[in-house]
Amino acid sequence: MHYAVIAAGEGSRLVKEGVTRPKPLVEVNGTPLVKRLIDIFMRCGAESVSIIINEHMPAVQQYLDTLQLPVPLNVVVKTTPSSMHSFYELSKVIPRGKFCLTTVDTIFKEDDFARYIAAFESDERHDGMWAVTPFVDDEKPLYVEVDEQMNITGFHDRHTEGVHLVSGGIYAMTSKVFPVLEYCVDNGLSRMRNFQRALVENGFHLQAFCIDKIIDVDHAGDIAAAQRFITPSSDKTHYSTT
């Protein structure tokens, strides 16, 4: 399994609230957000890790340069207008096959994530598997409509009757989606949610995998909430860094 991280946002809300570190380097239980993700990916059988960061955060690139991974680490440095455009830039370096994409500020329990990855690795029927949650934490959540078999039938900006799950910002899929992504960019679309809608509209088979709780670190107060949600014992590094 290959992994990718969108870490190109400016974290403007954190900055306004007095957090001086770039968002990817904000620490939760003593570990930078980006490092925590990499550690978990490695324990979930990563074959490669690809990360996009923006040009205005040299400290993040310097930090990533210190990491020594036993798999390729592809770092894209580019400021983009949206997360969908960041994904498009990442698609140029993500190896073909199955991969998992996540935003850098997504906080989940590692056991839940491991079960999710195992489910997608063993799945042979779907083009993608989205991590969804009934826990609404995002200020502008993307509601995910599913059928009785947890197949995704639609994405909604607002709560719709009978739709109780929201996107967790974690997307497992195959490189078959890249032509749709390219189409979205070429036709002036932006935002990941519009790419997701395009997948459904183009007949891609997406399944939802429910995780009880996934939270984002968007505000200074979210850091403490994330630390309460996870424990240091879940972060075990099995490779060296300098």
* Domain-embedded: residue 241: no
Contact 195, 202 (CB under 8 A): no
Q: How many domains does the chain have?
A: 1
Confidence (pLDDT) at 139: 80
**DSSP per residue over 200-239, as a string?**
HHTT--EEEEE-S--EE--SHHHHHHHHHHS-GGG----S
* Domain-embedded: residue 207: yes
* Domain-embedded: residue 191: yes
Confidence (pLDDT) at 20: 86
* Domain-embedded: residue 150: yes
Where in the sequence is the domain holding 28, given as residue range(s)? Answer: 2-230
- The enclosing H or E element of 81 equals none
Confidence (pLDDT) at 19: 87
* Domain-embedded: residue 94: yes
* Domain-embedded: residue 242: no
**Residue 191: φ, ψ to 5°:** 75, 135
Predicted TM-score (pTM) of this structure: 0.92
* Domain-embedded: residue 30: yes
Give the residue from 206, 128, 133, 207 showing the smallest Cα distance to 167.
133
Q: What is the C-alpha to C-alpha distance for residues 235 and 36, in angstroms, rounded to an integer?
A: 7
CB atoms under 10 Å from CB of 102, counted, come to 23
What lies within 8 Å, CB to CB, of 112 at 6+ separation is 211, 212
Ordered per-residue pLDDT tens for the chain, 242 residues: 999 999 998 777 887 888 889 999 999 999 999 999 999 999 999 999 999 999 999 999 999 999 999 999 999 999 999 999 999 999 999 999 999 999 999 999 999 999 999 999 999 999 999 999 999 877 889 999 999 999 999 999 999 898 999 999 999 999 999 999 999 999 999 899 999 999 999 999 999 999 999 999 989 999 999 999 997 554 444 444 44
Instruction: For residue 173, give the CATH number of its domain.
Output: 3.90.550.10
- The enclosing H or E element of 88 equals helix 83-91
User: What's at 34, amino acid-wise?
Assistant: V
* Domain-embedded: residue 239: no
